[in-house]
Structure 1
Amino acid sequence: MGTVPDETTPLKAGLKQRHLTMISLGGVIGAGLFIGSSAIIHEAGPGAFLTYGLTGLLVLLVMRQLGEMAAARPSTGSFTDYARTALGPWAGFSTGWLYWYFWVIVVGFEAVVGGQMINKWMPGVPVWLIAAGLLIVMSAINLLAVGSFGEAEYWFAGIKVAAIIVFILLAGLFVLGLWPGAHLSFSHLTDHGGFFPNGLTPVLSGVVVVIFSMTGVEVVTVAAAESKEPSSAIRKAVSSVVFRILAFFVLSTLLIAVIKPWDQITPGESPFVAALDEIGIPGAADLLNAVVLVAVLSCLNSGLYTSSRMLFVLAGRGDAPRWMAAVNRRGVPVKGLLSCTAVGYACVAFAALWPDTVFLFLINASGAVFLFVYLMISLSQLRMRKHLEATTPGGLQFRMWLHPVLPLLVAAAIVVVLTSMAFASDTRLELLQGIAVWSLLSIVHLLRRRPAPEGHPERAPRDAVSGDVERAHTVS
């Protein structure tokens, strides 16, 4: 099947710059934007685009912090390795498993969502069977080689990005009065209770919901380690892609609010379809359903890739069974990938057998996990800056702005968002279940903690990055 990786058997450098660009671009464009934005617009009103702007700014700053570390020390382990270096073995262990948990649950969830969508077109086929079929297809793509994953994600993401761009162009023409039958008017922004019809609170509290729809852009720092020039790829991706994503979210939401009165947007139904119907585009619902299905397959594809690579890293660091890091001659961690697929099948079974108990718990518990990961990224960058400046040849080429003031503000903002979840009835359960998962992982780490053997990564000093450790899991 393969060999356990050491310093001479790393992952293959099979991803190209165009793959990385589309991976980071398309990773955050999914059902959370196409459908989930309806709830934000309905709650916040025309000012909903400000919620996306604030959230995008927070994600941008976290990615800038991560980009600084990843450009200086590219690693398949990405932020889990930086957390281990900056904050100790517990941080690396818990952050890695939290991230794995998030993405492996995404695999199962997206498979079920894809099954439900296809079931509407093929009602005679059970959802669980379609979901299992989707998992098999995506697993086969990921098993071929990392280039196969990159190529599939390139086209999936390309379709999503093209759909957003076409929507912005059509909606822009309509808003500016350049579309047949349209006239220039921004009255919907103020005529239905004002710009903030429900006050500022929903605009700010909406950040808690929106931030989960923007997860995925950090995958590029994991994937970049499987490219030929990881440092350069990370700099380019982080510098440009986040700004483009910010434009996609903010512009599309603003245009929807101008075209369609906010109080006519129904939560759970796509506001994009509502806007296209208003413009007069025939078959808008069917077109968008096809795009959303592509988005679901893209998330499923990315979830399998990311969760399997995180298992590879955890196994290589001694935090998971060593056999999970075995790679075949194509550089694919086959056993780790199949383990993630098995969890996906289990999630599909849970969704079919216990949709309102076990499956619901798994989904809810993953809700706050990403904020925990973001917090660890921010704290790691604060701790590592001085060491990176001292040890990076030629100095840091990619820096976080206004260090340490801005990183401290970012960490504080994440804490505020987490705290706000505790006071909101619809997010409190997600926070508590996320804390339960993190606590369980911390207990597991304490129970298994023992002196590491000579040469093991955990023997490296906490305040220093071990170049040998990094190189062992970095494709040069």
Structure 2
Amino acid sequence: MPEPTAPAAAAPAPEDHLQRGLSNRHIQLIAIGGAIGTGLFLGSGRTISLAGPSVLLVYAVIGFMLFFVMRAMGEMLLSNLEYKSFRDMAADILGPWAGFLTGWTYWFCWIVTGIADVVAVSGYVAFWAPDLPRWLPALGLVVLLLALNLVAVRLFGELEFWFAIVKIVAIVALIAVGVVMISIGFQGSDGVTASLSHLYADGGFFPHGFTGFLAGFQIAIFAFVGIELVGTTAAETRDPARTLPRAINAIPVRVLLFYLGALVVIMAVTPWRSIDPGESPFVAMFALAGLPAAAGVINLVVLTSAASSANSGIFSTSRMLYGLAEDREAPRSFGRLSARHVPARGLAFSCACLLPGVVLLYAGRSVIEAFTLVTTVATLLFIVVWTVILASYLVYRRRSPELHAASAFRMPGGRVMCWVVLAFFAAMVVVLALEPDTRAALLVMPVWFGVLAVAWVVLRRRGVGARPVGASAGETGREPVRAAH
């Protein structure tokens, strides 16, 4: 049990804190942007090749499971409006070690994801400039996002707002074009007619059997990383008690429309067996329709999606470093804010850590090969973070039943669904171990957590981590936390 905290010191001046510069429209679109990632635009081609039409069920299952993770996170964040992010939540409920583990693992999650985005951007730029050195667009993206994020948190919100708008318009346009092509019985140059029968006519719904269905989960899970991003914006969100529930509750609609709707029309227009796993099926569908200009526009859209994901990663990692530095679990310089209330040094450090992505571009035979390796590592790390959120919820329910009873945003299914989702995560780790091209990434996990364990032991010997970050009623002796009504 965490030790009681000392009496709070005088509150720093407001300018020493992160500012609540994110409005409701920012949070809603950040949540949508987090649910539409590079894994959908670039990785869905590979996922379709592995699972066939059953990829629809793959995305539906993952979306269903992660909805409960988000609801658990939302209930806990709103039970204590002093939490700056789910890292604070984990530290307060499970203990300081959980905050350390979650903070640094989530930082590493987004660094790895950012590297995947850098790899993806290089692949998209090659659509227009195949002879351009791969490292040039990768480096340009990192420098551009660093410069933009140094301005103010509101600019981050505006960037994500417009990035998400672009993605939404592109997917809605793809669905609309696909529906028209199916309705008129469009016939491509290969003589294949667009039809919903492609979803079951070639080998059935599970053409590669149950093993193929399971293999589809690897990149499909990666498509959802960032869905928890709203949990890192709690300290910079205006009226979180209203905006967070609205963003979280919209997840099922987003999954149905943006994932299942888009993939249905793609596989109805182009038989799943004809989809190139190394290319974006979104770009390929417009090219098939005889709209090369539209294909170029969609390529720009998927490039924007990768840039959006990298932008989210830079934002969230800098905020995690800020929180870790406040608790002396990261260099103190990461906890200093610029004149614009931005953790500038944390931003610069995270951007520097994205540069190894350039090396990966030359390590494999193709962009999708490098993308698969990196996304598997990221998927495993995000599963760990999501698991910590659920573990925190189970302890929160046991220790603070009065907060759960008072909450206006209770997680449906409660503890039962927590265990169901945890079992699903365990099954996914087994699935990743079965595939040869994803098994190697599992070797990274013991190394990373071994490094964290050594670092935690060193910090404890220095007296760091002796008290929790947040304020949990009944555990710290501090004033009871405020439930959201």
TM-score (norm. length: structure 1): 0.87
Match of residue 233, structure 2, among 219, 223, 246: 223
Q: What does residue range 197-346 of structure 1 map to in structure 2 within 5 Å?
A: 197-345=207-355
1:416 Cα deviation after fit: 1.6
Partner of 2:452: 441
Does the 8 Å contact 2:125/2:137 carry over to 1? yes
Q: Is the 8 A contact 2:115 2:374 kept in 1?
A: no
* Among 363, 369, 374, the residue aligned to 2:381: 369
The residue number in structure 2 matching 1:474 is none
2:56 is the alignment partner of 1:13: no
Task: Look up the match of 2:402.
Answer: 390
Q: Give the conservation status (yes or no) of the 8 Å contact 1:48–1:254.
A: no
Q: What residue identity is the alignment partner of 2:248?
A: V
Matched, 1:117 2:144: no
Q: CA deviation at 1:428?
A: 1.7
Q: String of CA shifts for 1:362-382, please: whole Å, max 9, x gaps.
A: 765434101111111111111
Contact 1:93 1:314 in 2 (8 A): yes
Name the aligned partner's letter for residue 417 of structure 2: L
Contact residue 85 and residue 462 of structure 1 kept, 8 A:
no
Evaluate the alpha carbon distance shift between residue 465 and residue 300 of structure 1 in structure 2; reply closer, same or farther with a 3 A threshold. farther
- 2-structure distance, mates of 1:316, 1:92: 12
Q: In the alignment, which of 404, 425, 430 is matched to residue 415 of structure 2? A: 404
Distance in 2, matches of 1:313 and 1:66, equals 18
1:133 to 134, 140, 160: 140
Q: Which has the higher mean CA deviation after the structures are superposed, 254-263 or 356-365?
A: 356-365
CA–CA separation in structure 2 for the residues paired with 1:425 and 1:108: 21
SS in 2 for 1:332: coil
In structure 1, C-alpha distance between the alignment counterparts of 2:273 and 2:317, rounded to whole Å? 39
Match of 2:3 in 1: none
Q: Which residue of 1 aligns with 2:424?
A: 413
Deviation at 1:425, TM superposition (A): 2.2
Matching residue's letter, 1:204: L
Q: Deviations over 1:294-335 (max 9, x none)?
A: 112111211111110010011112211122111123211111
Displacement of 1:173: 3.0
User: 2: CA distance between counterparts of 1:468 and 1:331?
Assistant: 28
Are 2:53 and 1:53 equivalent residues in the alignment? no
2:197 partner amino acid = S
TM-score, scaled relative to structure 2: 0.86
Distance 1:12 1:355, change over 3 A: farther
Distance (Å, rounded) in 1 between the aligned partners of 2:212 and 2:187: 35
Q: How many residues are matched?
A: 465
Report the Cα distance in structure 1 between the residues aligned to 2:271 and 2:114, rounded to whole angstroms.
35
- The answer to whether 1:148 aligns with 2:155 is yes
Q: Which amino acid aligns with 1:333?
A: P
> 1:361·1:433 contact (CA, 8 Å) conserved in 2?
no
Closer, same or farther: CA 362–86 of 1 in aligned 2, 3 Å: same
Identical aligned pairs, as a percentage? 35
1:339 to partner: Cα distance? 1.6
**Residue 432 (structure 1) aligned with residue 443 (structure 2):** yes
Q: Which residue of 1 aligns with 2:95?
A: 88
Q: Mark the runs of 5 or more structure 1 residues left unpaired by the alignment.
A: 472-476
Per-residue CA shift, 1:145-165, capped at 9, x if unaligned? 000111111111110111011
For the 8 Å contact 1:77–1:310, the answer to whether it is kept is no
Distance in 1 between the 2:267 and 2:362 partners? 40
Q: CA deviation at 1:251?
A: 1.5
Q: In the alignment, is the contact (CA less than 8 A) between 1:177 and 1:183 conserved in 2?
A: no
Q: Distance in 2 between matches of 1:159 and 1:420?
A: 34
Unaligned runs of 5+ in 2: 1-10
Please state if 1:79 is matched with 2:93: no
Q: Distance in 1 between matches of 2:225 and 2:239?
A: 24
Decide whether the 8 Å contact of 1:21 with 1:241 is kept in 2: no
Q: Structure 1 residues 461, 193: CA separation in 2 closer, same or farther (over 3 Å shift)?
A: closer
Q: CA deviation at 1:199?
A: 1.5
Alpha-carbon distance in 1 for matches of 2:252, 2:237: 20
Contact 2:84–2:234 at 8 Å: present in 1 too? no
Residue 381 of structure 1, aligned match among 367, 372, 393: 393
**Contact between 2:118 and 2:141, CA under 8 Å: does it hold in 1?**
yes
Moved more, 287-296 or 421-430: 421-430
Q: Secondary structure at the match of 1:294?
A: helix
Report the secondary structure of 1:371's partner residue. helix
Q: 1:283 to 1:467 in 2, by over 3 A?
A: farther
- Tell me if 1:457 matches 2:457: no
Does the alignment pair 1:168 with 2:179?
Answer: no
Distance 2:285 2:478 in 1: 53
Give the 3 Å change call, closer, same or farther, for CA 466–305 of structure 1 in structure 2: farther
Per-residue CA deviation, residues 248-306 of structure 1 (Å, 9 max, x unaligned), is: 11111122222221111121122223433444444343122111111121112111111
Q: Give the whole-Å Cα distance in 2 for the aligned partners of 1:360 and 1:385.
A: 37
- Structure 2 counterpart of 1:269, one-letter code: E
CA–CA distance in 2 between the matches of 1:92 and 1:299? 24
Distance 1:246 1:308, change over 3 A: farther
Offset, 1:453: 7.2
Moved more, 177-186 or 28-37: 177-186
